[in-house]
Each structure stands twice: as structure tokens, then as C-alpha cells.
Amino acid sequence: MATRTFLLILTALVIGTVRAQEDCVPTASIEPLDTWQTVSGEYDADGWMIFDAEFFLGVDYVFKTGCGDGATADHNTVIEWMTPICTTILSNDDGCENGRSSLSFNSFFDETVLWIRVRGAQGQGGSFTMAYRSIGGVPGQCNECPSYDEQLMPSSQWQSKAGAYGTGGCKVYRVFSAVGMEYTFKTGCGDGAIADHDTFIEVQGVGCATLSSDEDGCEAGRSQVTWMGTGGIIYVKVISSSGSAGTFSMAYRRSGGNGSLCGTCTEHDLSITPGVNWSTSTSSYLSEGCQIYRVSVTEGFMYTFKTGCGNGATADHDTFLELFDPDCGTLAMDNDGCENGSSMIEYIATSTGFLYLKVSGIEAAEGFYTLAYRKSGSCTDCPSYDVEITPTLVWQTATGAYLNDGCWLYKVNVTEEHTYAFQTGCGNGGASDHFSTLQLLDPGCTSIQNGSWGCNGPGSDINYLALETGVVYLKVYGLDGTFGTHTLAYRDLGSASDECSAVQPIQFSQGNVYLAGSLTGATSAGDFVESSPYYGSAVMWYAFELEEPCYGFTVAYCGLVPAWGNTLNILTTDCPGDSALVASVESYACEDGNGRYSFPVLTPGVYYLPLLYDPLNSVDGDYEISVTCNDEVWLGAEETIACAWTIHPNPGLDELRISCTGNTPRTLVRIHDPLGRQVWSGGITAFPARIDTGSLPPGMYMVVIQDGNRVSSFTWIKE
């Protein structure tokens, strides 16, 4: 048995009665064999039982609480196939008989421990006996067709498969056959075929009827069967002639067709339908041979085929790829475009239907290969991904693209209590040629945060505080299914620095940044000049490089336990901290007694934030704070608002003018398109104001004017 992917330490391995489970954890382990087995249990209302089992790629599994084979239930049951974080993959309710369930599937996981949960529908309690088995999985005794032990993929080259069985045992292999191909299976006569006992080989077809069999047809005590394929599934059974135990190595191959001598493009060997995740097909050919695939494609999607460069693609010889249209016209070809001796084709389908892909060897070489293929244009299914990134303390970039209704998925390695910035705009190398959207997913692929439209233009941004070390997934996709290319700018914003001059500024615009860490070990070295009233304070520092004014720059210490009663409410504009900018409005408390401080930062530049270390704090200065740059306009007590706003011309063309009759306060203006996206924003201090709208497409817009606590909105039409 292969090593388990997930090591589950179970506190109870006894199958029997359990009470309702408060936690989603396994209560027992099962091992599905190719014969029916049963396990019984019961639970109270709102309870369940979970069994963990190891699943293998391509094996069929059946689990049921009714319909015979020992399966029963005294209540309405639900059976679920789940991941170890309690995410349901597949489920069934009443699929067997009334109130009973039957869940069957072909595993797309390999050597992976997953869970089977039995529970009552609508939270019912009761008892059950679940019958379960595999078809083609771990054998019980001698498999009987259509059960099988392994699946084989014969190709033009001889391959071999080692096996063994005990007294009365056998081995059964499933094979997908092609019309007109000749298949040979043998336990002697060379090519890797051997046996230490007298063997018998039988080929079975539909309904498990015998198609051909042989005993001693190869050499004394060894067997060989040659069968002409008619298409469909066949089963090859190896058994001892006398029922004795033994070991063997069966050699097998497929001959005829394109594997022996390459034919026309429509004479295909296999049919494939690429999906959004990488798939593989392993085969081979003799000298002068090839393999031809009929490929199902959909218009507008990009299809990638390769014999190297990862994702399971390999070749033991120099390969050549050719892609043909339905009339065998050449669409694309490649030699060594992937890596030395390996090839890759990327092609965007211009119509829906079938194409033909030929794999052959340069200079008629023979050999084995594994073709990897996929389509892009739809989203990669998390936890699969397109690119893996590890943010550092400096800005990095990664570029991706997708087609209509597509996306680009990043796997991101993160560290606990670090804040991460992701942008497809806002500078720092981030860009997008369409309205892109960001979405952050947790390790279980559940959405945890959506990007904001804080960037001017079509970009989006996210600031994310990692709560644990591990991975998250970042999805980039086009608004309303639009397509295009983006450059993602990303960075680990890091942690605080003990010395003011050593802190690396965080480039920051409108939006939020969340920061966390510990102030333990903070000193006063290099922090404040002697003339400062804060000289000698032990602090850690953050710095923010503001690219635009923050009419409300807010630092919130909410959530700290215990509260920080003496937190500094200042920013400084240099290092060591000399010129202090004190919060301009009175701080107000969070619900837990901590403070929230706001500063009018009206000039772009670098501002330094000191976090005071309190040695009397029982949590050793652990902090989690939020920093916000927003649009609010802070006014002095002497300022009053008495302005009647007008916008003109309306409709207009390349310029929007805003006028005020009365006082002329400092004002924030935002323009939004019909989808609510902000397409322009800025502060205005002199009137009438003129805004260049030449780059905006014709349509209807919402103009929002904020003066103090009053907000006015107008509809404006650009012709």
C-alpha cells in the first residue's frame, strides 16, 4: 500500500456505535477491495460517521446504504465523498432506493486519503450498514471481469507488467482497444516476459465473454495471445494453469495502424478532449511510425500540446508535433520549441469541432513519449494553478493572459502575520489592458477576499494579512468575462523595523493595509532626536510612501488585548522622528478600549508610523492594526459649507466643468461609469474646476461631489 498523502491520527479505530460528532473527523478507516464489504454504525440527530480511505487514480468506487449486498439503513441517508477539510466533492441522497443512497465515481485522485461520510437527511439520526467496494482497485482474491487490478495502455513498443498471486489467485488487466490494431500479451518468449510457473492467458470482451485464450503457446509453461481489436474495453486475465501461486512479468504491445507505419491525419489512434487542467497520454511508435490524436476543440479557446517542459510531458527521443484541420491542412508545427528534443504547440481554435494532432520522431526515430495537453480560456480549477509565486520585500511582477470567460490563477506562498499587496494597476509594474478583477482564495479554494477598484483605470488591488504560513490562491479575471493581458505586481509588505531609518516604505494609495507582528525586542535606538518629547521611547516603525493625498489617513488599533493605553498618536515626516504630525481629530475608542487615530495627509510623500512597545502589556506587544487612506475631507471648526453645485455642459464632450456658488471648500470629486467603477477621482480647491474627460467613452456617468459630510451626486452624459 502506498504511503498515505494525509496522515490521520485516529482516536478510535473500532467500527461500531458512535454519538453525534461535533467535529468533522474520521472515526474509522476502511480499505475498499474489489469484492463487497460492509461497515455498520449509528449516530444521533445531527450526527454522522466518517470513514477515511485511500483512493487511486482511475479506479471506480461504490458506496451504498441500500439495494442489497448487505447495505441497509433505518432512516433517510446521505453519502458524501469529502476532502480532509470537510469540503464535499460528490454526494448522493436517495440514489439507491427510497431513503437510501448509492454513491459511485471514478477517482481523479491518486494515492490520496479522502473521507466518506454517512449522515441523516435533514439531520435524522439512526443506524446503517454501508456496503462498499472498488472496481479495478485493490484485489480481494481472484478478480472476476469486469473487476480488474490494473489498467494497461499498450503502445507500439514492448512494455511489461510484473505481477503475482497466491494459490487460487489471478491478475486481471483492463485495456482500451482500437479497431484494426493487433494486441499481443505473453508470459514468455522474450521482450521482458517471464513466469516461474505454468501460466494461462485469457482475453475477455463485452459481458466478460472469452474472445481468445492460450496455454503454453509461447514456450513450455508460458502463454501468448494475439487478438485483433474491434474497439472498446477488453480484459486480460493471467492465471496459473494448476491454481498454484506464482510470479510473472507479462509483456504486451499494440501493432498495426500509425504506431507501425504513419498514415494520413484522419487515421487517428486516440480521441482526446482537453480540459482546463493538464492531462496526459502516454504512447509510442516504431521507426517510421507516429501517433495521431483526434482533438475536440471549441472556438475561442487556446489549446496547448507538448512533449516536454513539465506537467507530465516527457519523451525519450527527439519529437515533432503537427496540428491539422479536418481536411488535413497544416495549422501549426513545432520541433524543439519546448526544450531540447521536445516540442510544443499553442493554438487558438477558430471554430468548434475536431482537429488532428500528430506526434512523430525526427528522422523517423522510434520511442516512448507522454503528451501533456490542456485548454485555456476558462478558469483553472483551484487547487490547480497557472503560476506559483513567492512575494519578497520588493515589488515583483508576473504576466498572464486569458480568453473570453477565462482567468489566471496564481498559487501564492505566504508567511503568517505578513501583509501582502497584489495589484493589476496602481503602478509598481502592475498593469492591465482590460478591466481586471482580483479574488483571493484560501487553501481550500473558498473565496476570502475580493479586490477593490481603488486604482485609477482598469486595475484592481488587494491587501491581504496572512493568518497562517502556507498557500493561498489569487485569481485574476476580466469583468463581465472580458479577456486580455495583465501584469500582476505583488509584494510582501514585511514587518516593522526597530530603527526608523531601516524601515522600507510601503507604497500606498487609497484603500486598506493590514499589518501584524510583535513589538518584543523594540529599542529606542535611532528613533527620535533628543529634542523630541518622544525621545527614549521604544518603538517599531512602519513607513508609507503615499502616491496621492489621504484626506483621511487612519490608523486603528482595534482588537488588541489588553488595550494599549499609551499608544502614540503621531506620524513623523523624517528619520529620526523629529517633525511630528499629531492626529488632527480627537481619537475615538474601539469597542475594546483601543484607539483609532486620523491624520490629514494632504501632500504625497513618505510618512513614518511609530508603534510604541509597552513592556507591561501581557501579550508582549503583539499587534494587528489597519491603516486606511480614504477620500474623506477633514475640515477645521471654522470652515463652513454653503455651496450650490452645478455641472456643465450636460451633455458634454471632452471637458466637464464644476462650479460652486457660495463658499469654495476643499472638495473631493469622483466619476463612476454605469457599472459603478470609478474612472476618475481628485481633490478640487478652486472653482470653476475643469476635468478632462477626453479619454472616457461616450455614455452616462455618475458624478459624486463630497464637501465635508455632505455628498451630492449628478448624472452626466458624454456624447
The cell numbers describing 269, all together, are 489512434
Section 303-311 average pLDDT: 92
pLDDT of residue 666: 59
- What is the DSSP code (8-state) at residue 385? -
- CB 630 within 8 Å of CB 566: no
Q: N- to C-terminal Cα distance for the chain?
A: 71
Task: List Cα–Cα distances, 630 to 34, 271, 510, 511, 634, in angstroms.
Answer: 63, 56, 5, 6, 11
Which of left, alpha, beta for 137 (phi over 0: left; psi -120 to 50: alpha)?
beta
Name, of 99-113, 302-316, 506-520, the range with top average pLDDT: 302-316
Section 303-310 average pLDDT: 92
pLDDT band at 707 (very low <50, low <70, confident <90, very high): low
pLDDT reading at 14 higher than 50: no
Comparing C-alpha atoms, which of 358, 182, 376 is closest to residue 283?
A: 358
Comparing C-alpha atoms, which of 713, 705, 703 is closest to residue 652?
A: 703
pLDDT of residue 6: 33
Q: What gap in Å lies between CA 548 and CA 362, rounded to an integer?
A: 59
Name, of 73-77, 103-107, 446-450, 631-635, the range with top average pLDDT: 73-77
Section 345-356 average pLDDT: 92
pLDDT of residue 456: 54
pLDDT in tens, 377-426: 767 788 989 899 999 988 899 998 887 678 899 999 999 878 898 989 87
- CB 28 within 8 Å of CB 5: no
Name, of 59-63, 262-266, 326-330, the range with top average pLDDT: 326-330
Task: List Cα–Cα distances, 379 to 390, 404, 410, 654, in angstroms.
Answer: 21, 10, 11, 38
Q: What gap in Å lies between CA 217 and CA 387, rounded to an integer?
A: 53
* Least confident among 284-293, 310-319, 515-524, 592-601: 592-601
pLDDT of residue 637: 31
pLDDT in tens, 655-668: 888 887 665 555 77
Instruction: Tell me the torsion sign for CA atoms 691, 697, 699, 702.
Output: negative
Comparing C-alpha atoms, which of 6, 59, 15 is closest to residue 37?
A: 15
Give the chain's count of helices (H) and strands (E).
0, 57
- CB 580 within 8 Å of CB 612: no
pLDDT reading at 237 higher than 70: yes
Residues written for the chain:
719
Instruction: Tell me the torsion sign for CA atoms 79, 81, 84, 88.
Output: negative
pLDDT reading at 140 higher than 60: no
Q: What gap in Å lies between CA 544 and CA 557, rounded to an integer?
A: 17
Residue with cell 507501425: 260
pLDDT in tens, 155-168: 999 999 998 888 88
Q: In 206-313, which ranges are E strands?
A: 210-215, 224-228, 232-240, 246-255, 270-272, 279-285, 290-297, 302-306
pLDDT in tens, 600-651: 776 788 889 988 887 776 566 777 788 887 654 433 333 444 567 788 888 8
DSSP of 611-655, one letter per residue?
A: EE--TT-TTTTEEEEEEEEE-PPP--TT----EEEEEESSSBSSE
pTM: 0.43
Residue type at position 383: P
Q: What gap in Å lies between CA 427 and CA 550, rounded to an integer?
A: 17
Section 701-715 average pLDDT: 68
Higher pLDDT pick, 611 / 714: 611
Section 72-98 average pLDDT: 88
Cis peptide before 651 (omega within 30 of 0): yes
- CB 414 within 8 Å of CB 472: yes
Q: What gap in Å lies between CA 352 and CA 301, rounded to an integer?
A: 10
Alpha-carbon Rg for the chain, nearest whole angstrom, is 34
* Least confident among 10-14, 228-232, 399-403, 518-522: 10-14
- CB 443 within 8 Å of CB 469: no
- What is the DSSP code (8-state) at residue 424? S
- CB 308 within 8 Å of CB 280: no
- CB 462 within 8 Å of CB 493: no
**For the chain, what percent of residues have pLDDT higher than 90?**
34
Higher pLDDT pick, 480 / 435: 435
pLDDT of residue 251: 96
**For the chain, what percent of residues have pLDDT higher than 70?**
85
- CB 610 within 8 Å of CB 541: yes
Helix, coil or strand: residue 433: coil
Distance from chain centroid for Cα 683: 40
pLDDT of residue 439: 92
pLDDT band at 589 (very low <50, low <70, confident <90, very high): low
Exposed, middle or buried, 567 (CB in 10 Å: 0-12/13-18/19+)? buried
pLDDT of residue 183: 95
Beta-bridge mates of residue 374 = 304
Section 80-103 average pLDDT: 86
- What is the DSSP code (8-state) at residue 481? G
* Least confident among 3-7, 331-335, 413-417, 465-469: 3-7
- Per DSSP bridges, beta strands 353-361 and 447-450 are unpaired
Distance from chain centroid for Cα 498: 37
Average pLDDT score, the chain: 82
Domains of the chain (ranges, CATH numbers): 28-135 (2.60.120.380), 150-255 (2.60.120.380), 258-376 (2.60.120.380), 387-493 (2.60.120.380), 499-630 (2.60.120), 643-718 (2.60.40.1930)
Compute how many other C-beta atoms are within 10 angstroms of the C-beta atom of residue 452. 16
- CB 81 within 8 Å of CB 115: yes
Q: What gap in Å lies between CA 97 and CA 75, rounded to an integer?
A: 12
- Per DSSP bridges, beta strands 182-186 and 246-255 are antiparallel
- Per DSSP bridges, beta strands 506-508 and 539-546 are parallel
* Least confident among 19-33, 82-96, 161-175, 688-702: 19-33
* Least confident among 59-63, 329-333, 549-553: 549-553
Task: List Cα–Cα distances, 517 to 428, 493, 526, 590, in angstroms.
Answer: 25, 12, 20, 20
